[in-house]
Amino acid sequence: MDSNQIEQAFLETNYIAEIENNPIVLKIGEIPKDLIQRFPQIKTWAFITAWNPLPDILTKSENDIRNNQLKVQLKEQGFNFYPGVGISKNEDWSEDSFFIENIELETANHISFKYGQLAFLYGDKVKGNQLIFTKNI
């Protein structure tokens, strides 16, 4: 996959957050009105996984271990977060993830970088869901 194909895959992915037993579908480039109306306390958010640090494709058990490490980190940092899953447009792959509420962009980038992610979804009530390419800060 070249960089344009990778970016297109991110843009076409459905990011599904299970917030308080309510599935919320997030799409890059959209303002998630359902999320904003149902959960007004959430001002900013990120959707991050520890699965498959590019270019590596790991086994499910390896990915589960990595996501558990991410879960422990989020708990230690005091974030409210919920399980999620990113599912490709044609549903031929998915990655377990976390929806993290009220997180700063810089912190989300740091976490994404730590787990070897090329990019992540970041959003706020004004700009909506954005595709952010992880930077080494």
Q: What is the spatial distance between Cα 9 and Cα 3, in angstroms, rounded to a whole number?
A: 10
pLDDT of 105 above 70:
yes
Mean pLDDT computed over 71-80:
98
Between 2 and 124, where is the model more confident?
A: 124
User: What pTM was computed for the model?
Assistant: 0.95
Q: What is the mean pLDDT of residues 108-131?
A: 97
Q: What is the distance between the alpha carbons of residues 76 and 79, in angstroms, rounded to a whole number?
A: 8
Q: pLDDT tens for residues 1-38?
A: 678 888 999 999 999 999 999 999 999 999 999 999 99
Mean pLDDT of 53-69: 94
Of 117, 109, 95, 93, whose CA–CA distance to 46 is shortest? 109
Distance CA 119, CA 81 (A): 18
Write out the DSSP string of 45-74.
Answer: EEEE--SS-TT----HHHHHHHHHHHHHHH
Question: Nearest Cα to 132, choosing from 118, 116, 119?
Answer: 119
Count: domains in the chain: 1
- Domain of 88? 3-133
Residue 54 clears pLDDT 90, i.e. is over it: no
pLDDT at 113: 97
